[in-house]
Structures are given as C-alpha cells and as structure tokens.
Chains A and B, each alone.
Chain A
Amino acid sequence: MSTLLQEMSEKALKLNIPLSVQLDLTYRCNERCVHCYLDHDDHGEMTTAEIKHLLDEMADAGVFILTLSGGEIFLRKDFFDLLEHARRLMFCVKLKTNAVLIREREAARLRDLGVESIQISIYSHRPEVHDAITLIPGSLKRSLDAIRFLKSQGLKVIIANVLMTQNRHDYPGVRALAAELGVECTLDPTITPMMDGNRSVLELAVDQGTLRQVFRDAALVGDVDEFCAIPAKPDESELDSTPCSAGHTACYVSPYGEVFPCVQFPLPTGNVRQTRFVDIWRHSDQMNEVRSIRLKDLTTCTSCTHVGTCTRCPGLAFMEGNMRGPSTQDCEKSFAKTGVPSANMLAKKAAAGNRENTNLGHVNLVQIRALPSLASATA
C-alpha cells in the first residue's frame, strides 16, 4: 500500500469511515469454477434502484474505493447503468470479472467511465488447464482476448491467479503471459470454503511442498531470506493492533443487500434493504464486535511465534468456528514460509497425542497391521 493511501486508511480508521467496499452485483456466473465458494442462483438480487440508492448512501458514508464483483458482473443487464451512477458519485471503481463478455465496445465504455482497474481471473496459460477449472471450453481465449481489448483502451488490468492443485505448476507460465500482455499479476493460494459452510473445496488447496516452493520463488517474494525469516517477537503496540481491515475500514455487501465485514467473513451484520448502510456500519453489534478484536485477544494465536507477521484471516477463522481463533490455511502458510509450526498446529498435535495416550489402555501397544495385498497395492 502506498504511504499516502496508508495515511488515509489510518485517518479513516480513526474516524470510523468505510473507505473501501466490495459490492457483489450478482452471484450468477457464466463459468463454473471448481473452487468457487458461491452458488450461482439468483435468490432475489437488489434491483437497479436499490443498488443506486445504496451507492448514494455509500458515497455519503465516505466510501472511496468501490470494488464491483460477483458472480459475473456483466451478467447484470443494468451493469453499465450502475457503473455510470457509481462514477457520477466519483467512486474509485475497481472491477473483478472473468471478462468473457468484454469485447471492444465494452472495453471502450469502461475507459469512458474512468474505471481504475479490472481484475481478471486467469488460472493457467494452458487452455486445457484453465478451461478445466472454469468448466467452460474456450474461456481462456475469451478472457485473453478481453485483456487485449482492455489494454488497447489504456486500461489497467490485473491478472488474478488462484493457486490450487490443478494449476500448481502453471503460475510461472501465467506470470510470463502477464508480462507479455503488459499487465500486473497476483498469485493467491487461498481457497475459501463455500458460503453454505461446505468445506469440500478446501481439498483443492495446494500442499505444503507447493507452498514452500512458491514462498521461495524470488520472482514472487523478492528477498527469500527476509520473506521466510522467523519473525521477531512482537512488541506491545503490535499486539494492540487490529488483525485486518475487515470491519475497520472495509466491508462487503452481497447482491441481496446483506452487509458483512468482508467477502471472506460471512458474519451477517445487517441488510441495507432494512437499515441504512451507515447505520449498519456504525451501530451493528456484530460489526462492533469484530472491531473490538486486537491481536492480544486472539485465542491460541497470541502465544504463536507468527502472531506479528501471520496473514491470519479472521473470516476464515470464523468459518472454522471462532473469529478470535486461528485460520488453519494461514497457519500452513506461516509454516511453509519459516518451517516453524504455528501454536495452532502444535496444539492440534498435542491434542492428537493426548487422544492416543488416553487410548493406550484400550489398544495393543504394538500394533501389527496386515500388509496390503499385492492387488490393492498395485491398484
């Protein structure tokens, strides 16, 4: 983050202003990405008038950075109408899209409307891998064509590369593709559980070996020794800091008007169909509870070696059952970086050991298992 933006964020934090909001316009999508956390049905999206009214309220509340996402935003027939309204209100608008529906005409319109950036999901430079993740044949070509249209209009494009088991070998190829296209590229190994709580998609997350490889790639992290260093013990002021911007200077609004601290933090705090956006932001008990949490209040993590540098996501922790608890995916990242297990990992190991010890009286001390048969071993 730039120094000035950091300064503005600190000011917004003191003034309790939601500087940045992600608004999902729809959960409908024209791709079916295997790792996606959304269902793709319309359960009663906000109307054009409702969204425009919400944008008015958000501008009044001081929101500056507005990220429009989904689902696929271009499936909303009123998308450009909404975008035009947002730009009239002088939001800094960022878009997240698969870009499949962006052609020359749409790219020119986005340029005219002064969109700040367009983030496009690209999973691989190889069509057979990308299209196998989106489950839409030809989707890589459509997305890459769109990137070229957008670049030809002088727009800022960012490729977002989510890393999972299917594409774990392809991120260097995606980065090379981004360089060839003249666009930025981000890499994220985080897989989010589905909104209904189903955690089966987490099986797609990359393993420790891949994480270790990624975190030791100087092209990605810069100084590897510094990036992977064991963190120093945090001081009191660090422990008194807030875990992340969710609920502090940022929040998320669903297509149905529900307000959450973050897109990855499904704690309902209110609905703009019933309550003004600013009142939810300022007065929701849930939002204020999230806001009250400091690093020193975290269960397990406070005593962890990594507490000062961990990317612990409170939303992922919430989905594991406790917003003040650890987020296992982030524990694994810290472990992959440093080789030092997190307090959460050690506690789990100890608990598993205790279970084994507790069971000692009930099992044979020497366990002899039958060797697998030749047939099953070679199957």
Chain B
Amino acid sequence: MSRLYMARNPRVAARSLDGEMMIMSGRDSTLFTLNKTATILWQSADGTTPLDEIVEHRICVEFEVEPAEALQDAETLARELASHEILQISEQPILLRNPGIGESRAEGSTTVESTTGESRARESRAGESR
C-alpha cells in the first residue's frame, strides 16, 4: 500500500485563533476554519512525515480511535483539504525549496477532486471590511 505525504500549500495565509486554525486560500481568498483533526493534519504536514505516522502518533493519541479507521478518515480529509489547495498531497515526499512562500515545488504532488464525505473545513468567501 502506498503512503501519502502532505505539505502545507505555501500560497495560503494561516493563523491559529485560540486553537482554531484560520486558513485563507491563495487561489480565491476563500476563508476556512479547520476543526481539531484538520488542524493536526495542517500542523503536521511537513512534506516528509507520511500520513499513517501522523495518524498513529498524533491523531490516535489525541482521540483514542482505531488506527485503520482513523487513517481512512484522515486520508479523506487530506484529499478534501488538497481539493481546496490548502494542502499538497503526494505519494512521494514533498520537497519545499523555500518554505513559507510560494516557490515550493512538490515532486509528484497532485490536487484531487473533492470527496463526497462530510466536510470538515468550513468555508466562506472573505470580504472587505474597513
């Protein structure tokens, strides 16, 4: 079975607000907030730690869930976040040339279609305020 690697998309903006991660898409300024699981995925998405290790060491410890079930859910969630261009995902480690800004290159990374599963990220078009 192939492993899945994730890296944060360097084109997004992000900040934690009292433990809740706010993400603004670099594609279309859509604002997302991530739930606890999605926040763990985001924070752990270093491009080199495979998803199954993140699930085993971070998610299962945090939520006391079965590893196989947790991995399936986490993979669905990772693909959904990738569909919104919040994460980059790949079956190969993702190399970040210049982490934090938009010049990263992910070897073999891909953006996938949104899954039909329950949405874990709430989204909204960001507006102007004066």
Contact = CB atoms under 8 A, between A and B. Distances in A.
Interface residues of B, number: 30
A63 B24 CA distance: 13
Contact of B26 (A9, A84, A91, A114): A114
A366 interface: no
A19 B16 CA distance: 11
B100 A2 contact: no
A57 interface: no
A5 B126 contact: yes
Interface stretch (A10-18, A175-183, A268-276): A10-18
B31 A17 contact: no
B88 interface: no
Contacts of A112: 101-103
24 contacts: A2-B125, A4-B31, A4-B33, A4-B124, A5-B31, A11-B20, A15-B18, A17-B17, A17-B18, A64-B15, A64-B24, A84-B101, A87-B100, A90-B15, A93-B13, A112-B101, A112-B103, A113-B101, A113-B102, A114-B11, A114-B102, A116-B13, A116-B24, A116-B26
B127 interface: yes
A62 interface: yes
B33 A114 contact: no
A93 B14 CA distance: 11
A91 B14 CA distance: 7
Interface string A1-42: 111110111011001010110000000000000000000000
B127 A90 contact: no
A117 interface: yes
Contact of A2 (B12, B18, B26, B127): B127
Select the residue from A8, A9, A84 with max chain B CB neighbours within 10 A: A8
B129 interface: yes
Contact of B15 (A4, A15, A62): A62
List 5 tightest A-B contacts by C-beta distance, closest first.
A4-B124, A88-B100, A92-B13, A114-B11, A64-B15
Interface in B3-62: 10-18, 20, 22, 24, 26, 29, 31-33
B118 interface: no
Given A4-B31, A5-B31, A186-B128, 6 more contacts: A2-B126, A4-B32, A7-B33, A63-B15, A90-B14, A114-B26
B41 to A, nearest CB: 16
Interface in B68-119: 99-103
Contacts of B99: 88
Contacts of A7: 33
Nearest to A119: B128
Given A17-B17, A63-B15, A64-B13, A5 B129 contact: yes
Given A4-B124, A117-B29, A15 B24 contact: no
A1 B129 contact: yes
Nearest to A11: B17
Contacts of A92: 13, 15, 24
A76 interface: no
Given A3-B124, A116-B29, A8 B17 contact: yes
B31 A2 contact: yes
Contacts of A20: 129
A3 B126 CA distance: 9
Contacts of B33: 4, 7-8
A111 interface: yes
Contacts of A186: 128
A210 interface: no
Select the residue from A3, A12, A93, A114 with max chain B CB neighbours within 10 A: A114
Nearest to A84: B101
B122 A4 contact: yes
A78 B18 CA distance: 33
Interface string A65-89: 0000000000000000000100111
Nearest to B13: A92
Interface string A186-198: 1000000000000
A156 interface: yes
Contacts of A15: 17-18
A114 B31 contact: no
A1 B13 contact: no
Nearest to A249: B129
A1 B17 contact: no
A379 B49 CA distance: 82
Interface in A87-101: 87-93
Contacts of B16: 62
A290 B109 CA distance: 49
Given A1-B129, A117-B29, A245-B129, A90 B124 contact: no
Contact of A91 (B13, B17, B32): B13
